[in-house]
Structure formats: structure tokens, C-alpha cells
A and B are shown apart, each in its own frame.
Chain A
């Protein structure tokens, strides 16, 4: 439509815009068919009793009631909450402290950054397997500490259902804090040098400058980092599969794994759809306020 009206005004415009439109076909298809269509499809079918194959026989909120009554889902949600809470806190704190240390005009900054960031280049599978080995109670950290004399030392998170999620958290933090550090460092570098000078002239101690001046100034960086970490948390899957396969028992199950198992192994599609819709809702709760802040303020437009 638009192309044609413009085309009548300027003959060549239509052809050129046609090229741009052809170039955008994959994007339009992805956006409309996969992202919007696929999401709508999954949400719609989450209200059906699909088992092996998707069927349009609606059962209202049955799947959701079953979902929230399933012990495995409740464990998954609890794990996600613990894992999410601690990984948010720890990666923000550790990431910021490391970035602040890196910002002290140190030597070998590049070396340190390379070392802290390399785990991020590795896949979750590799990360999970390495930490599975390090946390192996028979040969790993526990046995080393015991051989040093503390024979009662106990550290076997991957085999203890009460603390298994913390074992996964350790691996996740090892992999992800480097990225947070880099984002924070970029934020710190964006702060005007004059602020530091002014704080120094006023005799404000360094930690106070960070807490009272720098961190409030880095609000945007913090929020963006928060959103990045949070949307990663909801998707956590590979790490758990590699490190514990959800065990011992169901102690380290997470929602993403619940979805996969119900869709492709238990052949209970309806449950899988309902669980994935709950994941979508979780992400929406995180993203919508952020998008509102970010785009409502008109910051990204610049």
C-alpha cells in the first residue's frame, strides 16, 4: 500500500522499497509467525488436554491446576526462586566489586579481564561438567580438604538434596560474573572523572563515594544488567542437565527442564505448554516494567 502511493510520486522508490521489503521477509516471518504466532499457539494449547499430539479440546485451567499441584513443579519453582535470588544478589555484588577493583587504574587490566571473562565463552554443558567434577565428593574439593586434616569436612552439594541448588549456583556464578563485571566496568568508565575529583576534594571516603554517588549514577547499567541476568535465570536448563540431571531425585529440577521433559519425554504436551506459559509470565513480569522505564523515558531512542 504505502509503496504504491509513494511509487506514484517517485517512480524508482517503489522498486527500491521492494528490495528492502524482500530483505526484511525473514525478519517479518520470524517476528510474526514464530515469535507472535508461536507464543500465541503455545498459550492457546496450554488450555487443552493435549497429550502425545496437540489437540484443540479445551479443558479450561485444568493443566494449570495440575501444574501447581505437581510436587516436581513446586520444587522447580522453589529452586528457581532460590537460584534466582542468590544469583542476582551475588552476581551484582561480585560483579560490581570486581569492576570497582578493575577500575583502580591497575596494571594488567586486560589479563585480569581475560581471565575473568573466559568462562563466559564456555557452554553451560562444559561449565556444568567441570563443576560436577570439582564438587565430586570422592575426588573433588571435599576429599582435598579432608586430606588436609579436616576429616569431618562435608561439602557435597551435588549429592545432598537440601543444598544441591547451591552447587549449581556456584557453577553459574563462576560462568556469569565475568560478564557482569564487564558491563559494570563499562558503566564505571562512563562516569565523569570530575565526580571523583569533587568527591576527593570534599574528603568523602572512597567506599562512600561508590555507595552514595557512583551506584545511584549507574542506575541504568544496574537495571539493564539486572534484566539480562534475570532473563538468563528463567532460562536456566543446560547447566542443570549437565551438572545433576535434576537430581538427586527431583531436588534440582528447574522450570525449563520441566517443560522439556513434559513436551518431549513424558508426552504430556498440555503440561509442557502450561509450564512454558508460566515461564513466559515470569519473564513478562521482569521485562514489562523494565521496557516501560527504558522506552517510556525515551533513553534508548537516542
Chain B
């Protein structure tokens, strides 16, 4: 809001300037530098924006071309003959090792990994954040600090002990195991997110509910939950994109038949056998990127909020 106001006043200032061009040196100077500056500012931003868009454009164009056209043509040129065959092939026929049922398998694996991981991790972290914000007990801060500091430890340090724990539990290599891992590593950032959000809610609400005799779960379900839908959406965006894009955990903690989409994509594109079909590869790459991209473009500002919080996750 403040910015908007400032913005308007700036615009009117600039519009007044032209009348005073001939009056004195103090008048015209800001205008000229400003218009020249505008060219530089917009010019740079447009060039930068084109640079950022280029890979997406090239991916899309390549995925719509036939292989003969790719061999003779230029990657920036739009397709002469549009074909959707690479998309079909990427989805249903592309091979990884002996399996030739395309990326669809990886897609459904990713769905089966992402949905429960997101729900479980958010459920646990939100209740936990609520406990930390409103029902502090002795020692809670210590564990919380360990959790936050632990978020900076490289995953590679903890991978093997987790393999052992999961093996002991009998879930190593299964989707359940991977879901547990995602829940664990989502916990620091989500707990921080929820704790800070709940701590920011007016304390009177909580006190009033307690005076009325509401307990831990009642307050959480009846008061906190309905009041904090935005933060749940932010957490969901954060988790869905994070888990969908994960590669390391997928490759470490699952068997090939459960590989998530990113792992399968990498195997399809970087497998050495056969002729490289760049159009199919790009179609597959776009398909994998489609889920987080859709979330990104739909959620807009909330995504920015999510990553500002999630940036710590690295």
C-alpha cells in the first residue's frame, strides 16, 4: 500500500517536470536522467526476462518437433511441423532399463509419494508448531533449536543412519520409508513456519478458549486451524514443490519400481543405450516440471512467501 502511494506521487512529479524544462538547470535534469534511466531499467529487465524464459521456450519448441527437424534445424526456431508424438512417447513409451512404460509410472509414483508426505508432514509440523507456540514445556526450545540447526546439516551426513533405521523398521526401499524421510526433512522449516505463525496470533483468543475450558486439541482444531488457512496453503506449496522436485531421497530410499518422476526422468534422458531422442527428452523434462510450474503460476505471491520461508531449506 505504502509503495503504491509513493509510486503515484512519483508519477505526478515527473509529469509536472516538462513544463519547467526552460526554467532552470534544477528542473530538467531529473526528467532527462529519469527517462534515460527508464530505458536502461526496462531494457535490462526485458533482456533478463528473455534470458530466463529462453530455456522454457526452447524446451517447448524442441518437444514439438520431429527428430529430422531437430537434426537440421536450430533449437530456437519454432517447429515447422508440430507433432505431439514426443509427448505421447515420453508419457507412455520411454524406456528406463527394461521398462518401457514411459514417465507415467514415475508420475504416479511421485503422486503416491507427494500426497501422503505433504499431508503427514504438515499435520505433524502444524500441531508441533502449535505446541511450541502456545503450550511451551521445559526443554521444548532446546529440541527446537536442535531441529533448526539440524536443517543446515548436509543430508549426506544423515542418509546412511536413516537407511539403517528404515531397514530395522522394515520399510527401506518402500514408499512408506520415503514418506517418513520427507516428513523428517520437512519438519524443521514447517515447524518454524507454523510456530512463528501461531505465535503471531493474538494471545487473548487462546486465553479466552482456555478459560472456556477448551483443551489442547479442541483449541487447535476449533480455533487455530480455521484461523490459519493461509499458512497451511503456504506450507502445502512449499512441500508439494519440494517433494516433487526431490531427487536424492528418491534415489537413495526407494527401489527402482517406486522411483519418483525426477529419478525416472534422469534415467530416461541420461541412459546411454540407443539413439538420443532430444524431442522426447524435452517433452519428458517439461512433463516433470509441469506440476511445480502449475503450482507456481497459480499460487503467485503465496509461493514467494513460501520460498522466503523455505529458502533456509536450501
Contacts and interface: CB of A to CB of B under 8 A. Distances in A.
B156 A20 contact: no
Nearest to B269: A129
A106 B140 contact: no
Contacts of A140: 75
B3 interface: yes
Interface of B: 3, 6-7, 10, 37-38, 41-42, 44-45, 48-49, 51-56, 58-59, 62, 70-71, 74-76, 124, 127-128, 130-132, 135-140, 143-144, 146-147, 149-150, 152-162, 164-165, 183-184, 187, 191, 215-217, 241, 244-248, 252, 262-263, 265-266, 269-270, 278, 281-282, 285, 288-289, 292-293, 295-297, 300, 303-304, 307-308, 311-312, 314
A133 B75 contact: yes
B183 A26 contact: yes
A98 B232 CA distance: 30
User: 10 tightest A-B contacts by CB?
Assistant: A35-B150, A123-B245, A20-B135, A19-B216, A38-B161, A121-B296, A20-B131, A38-B158, A31-B146, A232-B314
A128 B314 CA distance: 17
Task: Classify the interface of chain A: helix, strand, loop or mixed.
Answer: helix
Interface in A246-271: 256, 259-260, 263-264, 269
Contact of A98 (B48, B59, B248): B48
Contact of A139 (B44, B75, B241): B75
A139 B247 CA distance: 27
A42 interface: yes
B161 A32 contact: no
A37 B71 CA distance: 54
Contact of B157 (A16, A114, A277): A277
A143 B71 CA distance: 11
A242 B52 contact: no
A122 interface: yes
24 contacts: A17-B135, A20-B140, A23-B127, A24-B131, A26-B183, A30-B147, A30-B187, A35-B149, A35-B158, A39-B157, A42-B158, A54-B164, A106-B42, A121-B296, A122-B293, A130-B56, A130-B285, A174-B52, A193-B6, A231-B152, A256-B156, A264-B252, A269-B160, A280-B153
